[in-house]
């Protein structure tokens, strides 16, 4: 039994949305891998080429690895590989959770605790300066890939 033409048109529209999302995530994650890698190298150069206490490595390498995983998963999402949907969803949830946790900790025990007005101003400036994409793309992925239609699209492959 074949699907009706209307259902096939709906699937093609959903496929186009997923391809667009995957393309956006590939571009976003590639930029983040490059930026994180350059920042890590810059931090090492600023420390005379060594990382004796490992603080620079512990800060930057997880980011490089995370965005590399997101890049690879997003490329697979564009090819509609069945496991890619779950991987991108998991990484997106992890990204949003880490951002929220970092913000909460900043205001609970970090510098934001002592000077909340300044911390809010800094957060807003960072969001306006480009950090909004760190929230927008994962939230879009969560919203678009959690639908029953998207689940069905990836299970049907």
21-45 pLDDT, tens digit per residue, is 999 999 999 999 999 999 988 888 8
Mean pLDDT, rounded, for 116-144: 92
Pick the closest to residue 95 from 41, 145, 40, 135 (CA basis): 135
Cα–Cα distance between 56 and 48 in angstroms, integer? 12
**Domain locations in the chain as residue ranges:** 5-155
- Give Dmax (Cα) for the chain: 68
Q: Confirm if 122 and 115 have CB atoms less than 8 A apart.
A: no
- The answer to whether residue 10 scores a pLDDT higher than 60 is yes
Prediction pTM value? 0.85
pLDDT digits (tens, 9 = 90+) for 64-115: 999 999 999 999 999 999 999 999 999 999 999 999 999 999 899 988 889 9
Cα separation, 105 vs 71, in Å, equals 28
Specify the pLDDT at position 49: 81
SS (H, E, C) the chain: CCCCHHHHHHHHHHHHHHHHHHHHHHHHHHHHHHHHHHHHHHHHHHCCCCCCCCHHHHHHHHHHHHHHHHHHHHHHHHCCCHHHHHHHHHHHHHHHHHHHHHHHHHHHCCHHHHCHHHHHHHHHHHHHHHHHHHHHHHHHHHHHHCCHHHHHHHHCC
């Amino acid at each position: 039994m074949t699907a009706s033409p209307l259902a096939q048109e709906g699937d093609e529209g959903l496929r186009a949305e997923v391809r667009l999302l995957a393309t956006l995530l590939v571009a976003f994650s590639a930029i983040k891998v490059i930026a994180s890698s350059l920042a890590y190298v810059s931090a090492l150069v600023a420390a005379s080429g060594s990382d004796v206490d490992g603080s620079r490595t512990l800060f930057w390498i997880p980011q490089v690895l995370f965005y590399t995983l997101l890049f690879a998963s997003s490329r697979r999402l564009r090819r509609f590989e069945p496991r890619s949907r779950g991987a991108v969803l998991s990484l997106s949830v992890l990204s949003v959770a880490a951002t929220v946790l970092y913000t909460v900790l900043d205001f609970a025990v970090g510098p934001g605790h002592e000077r909340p007005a300044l911390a809010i101003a800094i957060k807003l400036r960072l969001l306006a300066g480009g950090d909004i994409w760190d929230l927008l793309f994962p939230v879009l992925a969560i919203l678009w890939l959690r639908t029953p239609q998207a689940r069905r699209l990836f299970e049907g492959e």
